[in-house]
């Protein structure tokens, strides 16, 4: 009788976990330094699925989203360009419709790789990593813009993993291929 009760409890917990992670929460392991120093390599981003409608998305929000060029790959980056905007990246500065954007969250001065003008289509977003010199983002993708339907979750908090756990996770290869 105790075994049957334990099995039922385990089953119910698994069902609850599946429902929560399919409908409410997203966890994303960060394998690269593209978002440093905001999010460090090995950290885990927690996001909510209910903030992915167009009216919920603002510049500088950090999102977990499906890569436009690579099916099955998930990225975590910062929203820089909104639908209909013209983004100019030039000489280490970023402009949206001619207004220079804040960069208090970036890591060091930006090099000129990725300089250009980007016109964000309606229903799409332009993303950049905070570590601008070491980020694979909208500036370098073939498909530069992320459509709204690729948005999985708005990041709400970051869990900074202790180094020994990061090493263990990498060693065990239990981490996803998020970038």
Catalytic residues: 34, 77
Q: CB within 8 A of 101, min separation 6: which ones?
A: 59, 80, 93, 94, 95
- Confidence check: pLDDT of 165 > 70: no
pLDDT tens by residue, 60-83:
999 999 999 888 899 999 999 999
Whether the Cβ atoms of residue 78 and residue 130 lie closer than 8 Å to each other: yes
The mean pLDDT value of the chain amounts to 85
Domain segments of the chain as ranges: 25-172
pLDDT tens by residue, 74-111:
999 999 999 999 999 999 999 999 999 988 888 778 88
- Residue 177: its pLDDT value, please? 46
Query: Could you say which architecture CATH assigns to the domain 25-172?
Result: Ribbon (2.10)
- Quick check: pTM over 0.85? no
45-54 burial code (b ≥16 CB/10 A, e <16): bebbbebbee
Q: What is the DSSP letter of 148?
A: G
- Confidence check: pLDDT of 52 > 70: yes
- Helix locations, 47-119, DSSP H: none
């Amino acid at each position: 009788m105790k075994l049957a009760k334990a099995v039922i409890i385990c089953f119910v917990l698994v069902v609850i976990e599946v429902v929560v992670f399919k409908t409410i929460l997203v966890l994303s392991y960060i394998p690269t330094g593209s978002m440093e120093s905001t999010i460090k390599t090995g950290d885990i981003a927690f996001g909510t699925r209910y903030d992915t409608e167009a009216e919920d998305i603002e510049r500088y929000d950090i999102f977990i989203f499906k890569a436009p060029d690579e099916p099955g790959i998930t990225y975590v980056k910062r929203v820089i360009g909104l639908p209909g905007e013209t983004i100019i990246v030039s000489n280490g500065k970023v402009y949206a419709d001619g207004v220079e954007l804040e960069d208090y969250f970036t890591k060091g001065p930006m090099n000129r790789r990725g300089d250009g003008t980007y016109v964000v289509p309606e229903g799409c977003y332009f993303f950049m990593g905070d570590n601008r010199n070491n980020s694979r983002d909208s500036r370098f993708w073939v498909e530069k813009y992320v459509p709204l339907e690729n948005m999985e979750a708005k990041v709400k908090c970051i869990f900074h993993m202790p180094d020994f756990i990061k090493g263990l996770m990498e060693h065990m290869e239990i981490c996803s291929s998020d970038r």
